[in-house]
Amino acid sequence: MTTRFVVLSSRRSKRSSILGLALSAATVFGPIRPASSQIPEYVVTELTDEDATQAPSKMNNLGDIVGRKAPNGKGAPRATLWSKVRSTAKHLGVFSGGDYSSATGINDAGEIVGVSNTGITILPFIWTENGGLRRVPLLSGDNSGKAISINKYGHVVGDSSGPGSSKAFLWTRKTGPRTLSVLPGGNHSTAHDLNDFDEVAGVSASSDGEHAVLWTSSGSVQDLGTLPGDSSSEALAINNAGDVVGSSKGPSGRRAFVWTKSSGMVELGILPGATSSRAMDINDSGVVVGSSGERAFVWQKELGMLDLNGASSTALGILLVQANAINNKGEILAEGNMMHGTTQHQICSPAPPLSFLLTPITSP
């Protein structure tokens, strides 16, 4: 099965704002009133212009998007907020001595986290409208790091690195940075996401290799294991129910999974013709997005894994290759490429990846 599209724009055009919706043409494909039991339908809006350094990466439930973009399309990229309400792009700046920054997470309060260089090292930041760009403290003795995700309370997870190794940490304004423990036999870890209950998803080294882990709000680390026959795994996202998604890797390749407290780790499958899959994000309704082979997917428990590409995307000349984020409204942030023709799956080369916002259509 594939999804259907109602496509807002069928041509590329330069825009001053990533969320600018004033487009010169509209092309409609497929029905516009799906029942709740039908395959999902989306309005698809191209976000990126012809600037290869413009890279949206994460969004909140309000539709605000963060990532990085070079000022005026030139020089090193800067952390950028594209506000849906204001329909403007705002550079968040860099630390003193630096020329590069990138935003990696945003909450519904508009607090943003990411990383900036200083000329001699890379440091994590938190940005607020009133406070601007500020450093997130590192673990004691470390000299570099990155901030990855932020929850609604402004709590931040990231990685802190020093002479020994890199460790995942959780930071709050009240307690400062706290080390997230590693699995037995391991000496490094990486945090990828946290929910509003301070549960953190990531990866820890162990005596059995790198495994997906869940750090509980009490600070303990839980090994989520691997799919049968695999040797390693990674946890990339977590929702407020504590469901975790990522991928497990072994002799048969990489396979996407969802882990729940009740069912443990369950494989999500692979799209026809593909040999691998990777889950990138999950929302509070349990809808998962990611990639399988060179195609983006959305997964729902009732429908299974669906290819986000179909006849409508082909007619538009787009191949969606990876879905990076999904919010609680079901909006999906995806990467894709332009195809040479509408009947061929041949990608323009060496054109940079494009970003698209997929907005689900709901009945009135």
What is the reported pLDDT for 146? 97
Per residue in 227-281, pLDDT (tens digit) is 999 999 999 999 999 999 999 999 999 999 999 999 999 999 999 999 999 999 9
Return the pLDDT at 340. 58
- Among 325, 307, 303, which Cα is nearest to 104's? 325
Residue 49: the pLDDT is: 59
Tell me the domains of the chain and their CATH numbers: 1-46+308-364 (no CATH), 47-179 (2.120.10.30)
pLDDT tens across 74-97, in order?
A: 778 999 999 887 667 899 999 999
Q: Of 85-99, 195-209, 332-346, 348-362, give the lowest mean pLDDT range.
A: 332-346
Query: Is residue 348's pLDDT more than 70?
Result: no
Q: Are 80 and 74 in contact (CB under 8 A)?
A: no
Q: Please give the Cα distance from 286 to 237 (Å, whole number).
A: 11
What pLDDT sits at residue 331? 96
The 10s digit of each residue's pLDDT in 41-63 is 888 888 865 555 578 889 999 99
Q: What are the Cα distances from residue 238, in Å, to 65, 163, 224, 284?
A: 19, 30, 13, 9
Got the DSSP string for 14-68?
Answer: --SSTT----S-----S-S---TTSPPEEEEEE---S-TT-EEEEE-TT--EEEE
What was the pLDDT predicted at 16? 27
pLDDT for the residue 52: 52
Tokens of 180: 């997230």
Average pLDDT over residues 350-354: 62
Higher model confidence: residue 151 or residue 318? 151
In this structure, the chain runs to a length of 364
Given a cut of 90, whether residue 126 has pLDDT beyond it is yes
- Provide mean pLDDT across the span 104-111: 97
pLDDT for residue 48: 67
User: Encoding tokens for residue 364?
Assistant: 């009135």
DSSP state of 163: S
Please give the average per-residue pLDDT across 128-149, as a whole number.
Answer: 97
Q: What string of DSSP letters covers 81-121?
A: EEETTTTEEEE----TT---EEEEEE-TT--EEEEEE-SS-
Give the span between the Cα atoms of 95 and 251, in whole angstroms. 43
- Of the chain, the percentage scoring pLDDT greater than 70 comes to 82
pLDDT band at 342 (very low <50, low <70, confident <90, very high): very low
According to the model, what pLDDT value does residue 73 have?
64
**Residue 145: what pLDDT?**
98
Q: State how far the Cα of 4 lies from the Cα of 7, in Å rounded to an integer.
A: 9
pLDDT digits (tens, 9 = 90+) for 175-213: 999 999 999 999 999 999 999 999 999 999 999 999 999
pLDDT of the residue at 84: 83
Confidence of residue 164 (pLDDT cuts 50, 70, 90): confident
User: In the predicted model, is pLDDT for residue 221 greater than 80?
Assistant: yes
The predicted-structure confidence for 277-315, as pLDDT tens digits, reads as follows 999 999 999 999 999 999 999 999 999 999 999 877 777
Give the pLDDT confidence of 4-46 residue by residue, as tens digits: 444 444 333 333 223 332 222 223 333 222 223 456 788 888 8
